[in-house]
Amino acid sequence: MSESAFPEAMREYSSDRVDLRSDTVTQPTAAMREAIAGAPVGDDVLGDDPMVNMLQERAAALLGKEAALFVPSGTMSNAVAIRTHTNPGDEIVTETTSHIYVYEGGGYAALSGCSIALVDAHHGIMVPADVESAIRKAEGSLSHYPNGTLVCIENTSNRGGGTCYELSTIDEICQIAKRADCKVHMDGARLFNAVVATGIDASRIVQDCDSISICLSKGLGAPVGSLLVGDSDFIAEAHRWRKMFGGGMRQAGILAAAGLYALEHNIERQAEDHARARRLAEAVNEMDGFSVNLEAVQTNMCYISLTTGQSADDVVAALAERGVDLLEVGPNTLRAVCHLHVEDDDIERAITAFSDI
């Protein structure tokens, strides 16, 4: 009998490094792996997978909507949402640094045939009046304009620093969109960070949004998966686009089980990630050569500016030599993200590494 190819499959996460590159680096914990191992499964393309069905129902209920669709990634979730809400030649209104615009390979153009009207924002949070003036309608323009039909809000805003929208701002943007006959999609990859940071229920935050994408594989600690959430008609149409984009999965219950576990156990604990990001931000901001805009440190992220001309590459390399991994996100900017596997000691080690270099 040959030795198992998976000798450490049930081990708890362990590393001698402090990995602050992203909240996407988390590995399933032993308890989550047990949930995966014990999951009853079926063919989800045939609608038979009990765990996927349960996860979709749970996500819809949490967000106060009728239905949800399990998809492999946040990028696919946004792509399916955009394709379902729009027609080729339509225009999307979204923020200049949004994931949809910056990091999705131009999928909105290639897959949906849409243009984007960009809104500049403070720490990623759009001002409702700017959204209003960015919406262009074909009608009444002698056909000069594309047709603005969709507004996308990213909450929390990743490049904004992990910032949260005020409820009144979301509500106002939704009203503006409705008046202009536009749908609203929320890229809520980290919606539950906003829920924990603001204390506002998820269903209230997204009350007036037509669709929401949430990610299980970021702060919630699942290995794979996102959910697109909305009303039943929207999700039925989105189901067709997911098929065409190749996102139908078969015995996906092994992934859904991890997602269900994450929704049950890993939402509230994100308060610890937020406290650790703040501890790191405040300490590094005190040091010569670094500055952190503390106003933007609202959840699990900390963007660090290099103030004395050091290159971000060099600083990342110097920190890595000390066992601390961050991402360079601009020539003078680094990003640190706290998550499931970052403990208080790890933050102290990161602070020491910053003060040593």
Ligand X SMILES: Cc1ncc(COP(=O)(O)O)c(C=O)c1O
Q: In terms of CB distance, is 154 or 328 closer to ligand X?
A: 154
Q: In terms of CB distance, is 150 or 283 closer to ligand X?
A: 150
- Residue that the structure tokens 């402090």 belong to: 18
Residues at the contact surface with ligand X, assessed by CB under 6 A? 73-75, 99, 154, 158, 187, 189, 215, 217, 226
Smallest distance, ligand X to C-beta of residue 201, A: 21
Q: In terms of CB distance, is 107 or 146 closer to ligand X?
A: 107
Smallest distance, ligand X to C-beta of residue 242, A: 14
**Distance between CA 257 and CA 223 in Å, rounded?**
11
Smallest distance, ligand X to C-beta of residue 195, A: 15
Task: Find the angle CA(312)-CA(315)-CA(320) to the nearest 5 degrees.
Answer: 125
Q: In terms of CB distance, is 72 or 146 closer to ligand X?
A: 72
| 255 neighbors 249 (Cβ within 8 angstroms) | yes
C-alpha to C-alpha distances, 236 to 61, 108, 196, 197, 207, nearest whole angstrom: 17, 20, 30, 32, 20
Q: In terms of CB distance, is 222 or 280 closer to ligand X?
A: 222
**Distance between CA 103 and CA 322 in Å, rounded?**
29
Residue nearest to ligand X (CB): 74
Smallest distance, ligand X to C-beta of residue 75, A: 3
Smallest distance, ligand X to C-beta of residue 280, A: 19
Q: In terms of CB distance, is 241 or 290 closer to ligand X?
A: 241
Q: Is omega for the bond preceding 156 within 30 degrees of 0, making it cis?
A: yes
DSSP H helical ranges for the chain: 30-37, 50-63, 74-85, 99-102, 107-110, 128-134, 167-179, 191-198, 202-205, 232-244, 253-265, 270-285, 312-321, 344-356
Smallest distance, ligand X to C-beta of residue 129, A: 23
C-alpha to C-alpha distances, 215 to 70, 72, 110, 146, 188, nearest whole angstrom: 10, 9, 23, 31, 7
Q: In terms of CB distance, is 53 or 73 closer to ligand X?
A: 73
Smallest distance, ligand X to C-beta of residue 189, A: 3
Residue 125: CB partners within 8 Å, gap ≥ 6?
Answer: 157, 160, 163, 165, 166, 169
Quick one: 316 exposed, middle or buried, by C-beta within 10 A (0-12, 13-18, 19+)?
middle
